[in-house]
Amino acid sequence: MSRSSACSFLSALTLFGISSAREAWGCPCAPGAAPVTAISTPGDSFALRASVAALVDTATWDERGRVYPTPRDVSTRRLVFEAAGAWRPWRSIELSALVGATLTAADQPGVVVRAASMGDVTARARWEAVDTWRWRVATSAAVRAPTGDRVAGTIANGVAGVGLGAWELSLGGEVARRSEALGEVGVAIDVGVRAPSEREGGSTWTPGPRATVTAFGAWRATAALTVTGSLSHTLELDAWRDGEPVADSGTRRLSAALGFGLRVGRVVWTLGLAADPWIEGLGANATATMRATLALTWTR
């Protein structure tokens, strides 16, 4: 099965669930799913976030979209640790940075792998052009530096705890409609292009451009508790090797997520549950995973 180096969640996705709502809505939503979701809220000066995610591979799609469940005697599990910080020089602008690390345990007959790897560093600027009781419109630009250990396959997609293996520049946009009584619904898109990188053997590999589209919603159960959900689809076009396209190397994947956010003073606890439904045709050249994420965000 051919693969590209990574197709992005940069949503970061769907690991936590859905978009954080802003101070205007007063929602303790999970920070994460929409690609340009903020770490802080417009009333904050800065924010710090730490998270740990457990990932288990459940199946793979080949280049034609056929699904192959992971055999019982084969398993791949990961713990992904991420840390992020954000600063707001102005109310509508957030500057942030994120980095991570991964512990991997892979087992198959006759082979046992235990490994630790550093992740990439991502820097992002986000502008909330509209932030009212009824609407939120935001845009962002991000740069991901290949500071981590490269991990082949789609797991590197938007997860800073693993290495993408190439520089990436991404642009994102987000539109959400709010209801004071119920919550919000919206859609976000994140598009990224990658720079060429040298592989073993001296070949030059250029991952194809990718796009992630996320539909999300949030329901404010109480003044402190918010339940979120999202559905996202990522498409990455074929890669290039030494200036030539690599046929059937593009990837795609559908992900669904459910999140819970609890605000206690300046601290927001979030729990996210996500999975890639391994249905024929919904993915290609991708690994389906189940993910559980716990995050703590402190704001000031």
Name the band, by pLDDT with cuts 50, 70 and 90, for residue 160.
low
What was the pLDDT predicted at 162? Answer: 76
Say whether pLDDT at 114 is over 50: yes
* Average pLDDT of span 131-143: 93
Say whether pLDDT at 102 is over 80: yes
Are 147 and 117 spatial neighbours (Cβ–Cβ below 8 Å)? Answer: no
- What is the dotted CATH code of the domain comprising 13-197+210-237+252-299? 2.40.160.40
* Average pLDDT of span 192-219: 89
* Average pLDDT of span 31-55: 79
Question: Side chain identity at 130, as an amino acid letter?
Answer: V
What was the pLDDT predicted at 271? Answer: 95
